[in-house]
Amino acid sequence: MGDKSSLAALGFRPSALGMALGLDAADLDTRLRALGATLGPPWNEDYRLAAQAAWLCL
């Protein structure tokens, strides 16, 4: 195998989204739960983290 991918990996802290939007942890959690309720199951932590990462990219 040994081939290197051209994809870059980037990490983020979940709290970074709240800071970027000027929201405290409780407000951010409320908004993410509302998003999950709208989208429906499954809405576990993996989905919440992916939504946060996508939101940061916007």
Q: Where are the domains of the chain?
A: 18-57
**Which of the pair, 31 or 7, is modelled with greater confidence?**
31
pTM as predicted: 0.66
Give the mean model confidence (pLDDT) for residues 3-25: 79
Mean pLDDT of the residues in the chain: 83
CB 43 within 8 A of CB 36: yes
Give the span between the Cα atoms of 46 and 54, in whole angstroms: 12
Taking the mean position of all CA atoms in its chain, how far away is CA 33?
12
pLDDT higher than threshold 90 for residue 11? no
Can you give the pLDDT at residue 3?
A: 66
**Which of the pair, 24 or 56, is modelled with greater confidence?**
24
Can you give the pLDDT at residue 13?
A: 78
